[in-house]
A and B are shown apart, each in its own frame.
Chain A
Amino acid sequence: MSVRIRVDGAEVVGRDGQTIAGVLIGAGRRSWRTAAGAERGVFCGIGVCQDCVLTVNGVEGVRACQRTARDGDTVERESR
């Protein structure tokens, strides 16, 4: 079973049940946020550090390591 999400406009396929971070890492994407001009990705992996946040279906500040990916989710990069 697979799950399809859109990431900054591109389709990314993951395994059903994975978190958004799991889908992104599984697809070889390891950075999806800009902080003070530098790239960031997942760090703590358990919802503590908030480094992996991105915008999901228009809602900002969603931790990629905590949110299970759903078919059709639209994911956008954040910058702060």
Chain B
Amino acid sequence: MSRRVVIVGAGPAGLAAAQAALAHGAHVTLLDEGERAGGQFWRHHDELTDRRMQHQWARFERLHAALERAGDHATVHRQASVWRIETEGGIRVHALVGPADAAARTGLTVEADALVIATGAHDRALPVPGWTLPGVVTAGAAQALAKRDGVTPGGRTVVAGAGPFLLPVAASIAIAGGEVAEVVEAVGLRRLVRGWGRSPWQLAGAAGKAGELAEYVGGLVRRRTPYRLGSAVTRIHGERAVEAVTVQRVDAHWRPIAGTERTVACDSVALGHGFTPRLEAAIQAGCRISSARFVEVDERQATSVAGIFAAGEVTGIAGADAALAEGEVAGFAAAGGTLDDARIAAVLRARRRLHAFADRLATHEVRRGWTAWLDDDTIICRCESVTRARIAEYADASSRGLRLATRAGLGACQGRTCGRTVEQLVAAPVDFDARPVLSSVRIGELAALAPNGGASTPSVGPEPSGSV
């Protein structure tokens, strides 16, 4: 019987893992919460997505075709929310399958010989006074709305934060018909040049990526969109929705510089200050997490738990190309391949080159001084409307004490949006990402499942569709 490889997440890492595992004789089960495969990078809808927003689309089509060609060797479950991973006495993945947040989805349990966790990352957006106003979205939301729905967050958007991701976001907004008022990058020119300019020969392997960035900058120039370095949106104004922002210069630690404030009229803001990995599945599976809060993996992309591999942004923020390479290694190893196999040599080399490129992203890492733009009454935990002052009051409490006293991290998103911010504000780890249930599940749905989660009945979900 062939090895059963289960993959959670159908973004670049998960799809590459699936193809590699299939190529090495495994049976693959791919679970993804979206309606279509592709993850955030290849988020799409056949009629609504402007193709100019997609990169490496041919690669997506090849990976997709490999799944379709696989016939009985591959099972794809779309709209599958994985809510629990068990590792005692074998690996079992539990999911609920059906329309997002529906009241009665179907329970599904899949048993695995090897599991690849490719759950990706989501935006980190630093709070700023006014950031709960309608019209303020994350950079990823602006990208998703443009790619998936063909809409822009507003008519005139300020794109602000840190990192190269701001550039494709600005481009997508423009393609979808919106105006980008300014792109505001917290990193100053000197640090930008130092960070990206050192050892340029190491970037040679990522020439495609450099070309892509040049294309975005060219787009900004053509549309006469200002690209402000060493600046931040330090306040968002409006009554019932966004009306304007304050853009202010910041120092090397991202502390706002008094006297440099400018008001920019806009009706929406896209905030993105890097990404934070979606670790909950790996944590529940018992995988060791590094001090930098990523899943620890070895050369084979193997985690500290036997039979469990991880690839893509959960192992370090490195972009889609690195995720593709890591996924390929993970899928190959999960299917039983060994690294001395000549067939994997080129991918291992690519992964090394791409990690050198990814190291440059550290240039845009969040600096501590940003908290100076918060007011005492600025909301930090959006779900429970917990203010900065309230969190400061309990800064010395235990993680549990802080949560119980303030309710930060106890709302619907379970600290996914505020966790990293609270950690910075109290200057201590808060472990909001250790979550007993991995996704939103209704109590009624849980109650309807058998006490053992139906562990002995694999594949009770809907027929896997050919359209992934």
| Interface membership of B109, Cβ < 8 A | no
Q: Is the interface of A mostly helix, strand, loop or mixed?
A: loop
Segment at the A interface, from B133-141, B158-166, B354-362, B424-432:
B133-141
Query: What are 6 inter-chain pairs, A to B, with CB distance below 8 A?
Result: A17-B48, A30-B241, A39-B240, A46-B144, A49-B383, A59-B102
- With known contacts A45-B141, A48-B413, A15–B132 Cβ distance under 8 A: no
- With known contacts A30-B134, A53-B412, A15–B141 Cβ distance under 8 A: no
| Interface membership of A13, Cβ < 8 A | no
| Interface membership of B27, Cβ < 8 A | no
The interface residues of chain A lying within 8 Å CB-to-CB of B48 are 15, 17-18, 22
Partner among A1, A26, A49 whose Cβ is within 8 Å of the Cβ of B416: A49
Q: B144–A40 contact, CB under 8 A?
A: no
- Given A38-B132, A41-B241, A44-B125, 6 more pairs with CB closer than 8 A: A30-B268, A42-B141, A44-B137, A45-B138, A45-B142, A45-B143
Q: B383–A19 contact, CB under 8 A?
A: no
**Range of interface residues on A (Cβ < 8 Å):** 35 or more
B35 → chain A, closest Cβ, in Å?
A: 6
Interface set, chain A 26-63, CB cutoff 8 A to B: 26, 30-31, 35-36, 38-51, 53, 56, 59, 61-63
| Interface membership of A16, Cβ < 8 A | yes
- With known contacts A17-B45, A36-B385, A61-B412, A44–B101 Cβ distance under 8 A: no
- With known contacts A22-B149, A67-B100, A44–B412 Cβ distance under 8 A: no
> Residues of B at under 8 Å CB distance from A?
33, 35, 40, 45-48, 99-103, 122-123, 125, 132-138, 140-145, 148-154, 240-241, 268, 382-383, 385, 411-413, 416-417, 440
Q: Which residue of B lies closest to A1 (CB)?
A: B47
Q: A43–B136 contact, CB under 8 A?
A: yes
Q: Which residue of A lies closest to B385 (CB)?
A: A36
| Interface membership of A21, Cβ < 8 A | yes
A40 → chain B, closest Cβ, in Å?
A: 6
Q: How far is the CA of A51 from the CA of B141 in the complex (A)?
A: 12
Q: B240–A44 contact, CB under 8 A?
A: no
- With known contacts A18-B149, A31-B134, A46–B417 Cβ distance under 8 A: no
Partner among A42, A47, A61 whose Cβ is within 8 Å of the Cβ of B137: A42
**Most chain A C-beta atoms within 10 Å of own C-beta, residue among B125, B136, B144, B154:** B144
The interface residues of chain A lying within 8 Å CB-to-CB of B33 are 47
The interface residues of chain A lying within 8 Å CB-to-CB of B385 are 35-36
Q: How far is the CA of A48 from the CA of B142 in the complex (A)?
A: 14
Q: How far is the CA of A36 from the CA of B150 in the complex (A)?
A: 31
B357 → chain A, closest Cβ, in Å?
A: 24
| Interface membership of A65, Cβ < 8 A | yes
Q: B150–A40 contact, CB under 8 A?
A: no
Q: B122–A44 contact, CB under 8 A?
A: yes
Partner among A15, A18, A38, A66 whose Cβ is within 8 Å of the Cβ of B101: A66
A13 → chain B, closest Cβ, in Å?
A: 13
Q: B150–A65 contact, CB under 8 A?
A: no
Q: Which residue of B lies closest to A50 (CB)?
A: B412
Q: A50–B440 contact, CB under 8 A?
A: yes
B314 → chain A, closest Cβ, in Å?
A: 14
The interface residues of chain B lying within 8 Å CB-to-CB of A42 are 137, 141, 145, 153
B168 → chain A, closest Cβ, in Å?
A: 15
Q: B151–A26 contact, CB under 8 A?
A: yes
Q: B416–A48 contact, CB under 8 A?
A: yes
Q: How far is the CA of A59 from the CA of B148 in the complex (A)?
A: 24
Q: How far is the CA of A38 from the CA of B359 in the complex (A)?
A: 40
Q: B145–A44 contact, CB under 8 A?
A: no
B386 → chain A, closest Cβ, in Å?
A: 10
- With known contacts A31-B240, A61-B101, A41–B135 Cβ distance under 8 A: yes
The interface residues of chain B lying within 8 Å CB-to-CB of A62 are 100-102
